[in-house]
Amino acid sequence: MPNRIALVTGGSRGIGRATVLRLARDGFDVAFCHRSSPDKAGELEKEIGELGVRALAWQCDVADHAAVRELVSVVTERLGAVDVLVTSAGIVRDNPLMMMSEEDWNSVIGTNLDGTFNACRSVVFEMMKRRSGSIVNISSVAGVHGNPTQSNYSASKAGIIGFSRALAKEVGRYGIRVNVVAPGFIETDMTAGLPDKVREAALKNIPLGRLGRAEEIADMVSYLVSDRAAYVTGAVMQIDGGIVL
């Protein structure tokens, strides 16, 4: 029996990279896209291949709908129809609203929210025809509770939650499940540049007393796309160490 096919956006680093590796270990053939990390993508593609499954890395700006449609077309042609989609591509451009430029607003909404729409829109019709599929969209606790200086990021991540819940209701009758993972502070490239004061303040507010690991988010994605979660759709799984309790 052929392997199932997974596509992960933003798969060359951070949570996306951990998810790519976890799904490969679960036996998926995995395609992933990156915007500007060809060296890292090549290394990851090789690492996946060493796990005994097929891999495909592709450069793509998820904010570009035509580019995402091309990505899905290439994946379908080379690996097969997409069974699982994980939208992990995301950026931050933090600033207080009074100092936030239109460019910072538009780039975050474009990558995070439009990118999620573009990917889901490009795979969902084929999933509907096959009456099966699983989608996991990566949001953030910032999209649940909001964060100061992150009005653009929080808006994009809250939009992902609303989008995913609506889509789950639309496509459930076709056997497609749509869920959300909302991470808190996770050790990634994105959080590595946090000032020490910000990191210390965050740790004080996390009951478990540490930042999360990307692999812990990947574990939840692995569960949600598996048959173990066959009755789970429209859920928002917060993986945050208790920061918003």
Active-site residue set: 153
How far apart CA 95 and CA 45 sit, in angstroms, is: 35
Residues 6 or more apart from 68 whose CB is under 8 A from it? 60, 62, 115, 118, 119, 122
CA dist 77 and 75 (Å) reads 5
What phi and psi, each to the nearest 5 degrees, are found at residue 100?
-80, 130
Coil/strand/helix, residue 76: helix
Q: How many CA atoms lie within 13 A of 16 on its CB side?
A: 29
- 62: Cβ–Cβ under 8 A, 6 or more apart, which residues? 9, 10, 33, 35, 68, 87, 89, 111, 114, 115, 116, 118, 119
Neighbours of 125 (CB within 10 A): 9
Q: How many CA atoms lie within 13 A of 222 on its CB side?
A: 18
Q: Which one-letter amino acid corresponds to residue 185?
A: F
Q: Name residues whose C-beta falls within 8 Å of residue 183's C-beta, 6 or more positions apart in sequence.
A: 15, 138, 140, 141, 212, 217, 239, 240
Q: Hey, which residues does 181 pair with through a beta bridge?
A: 138, 237
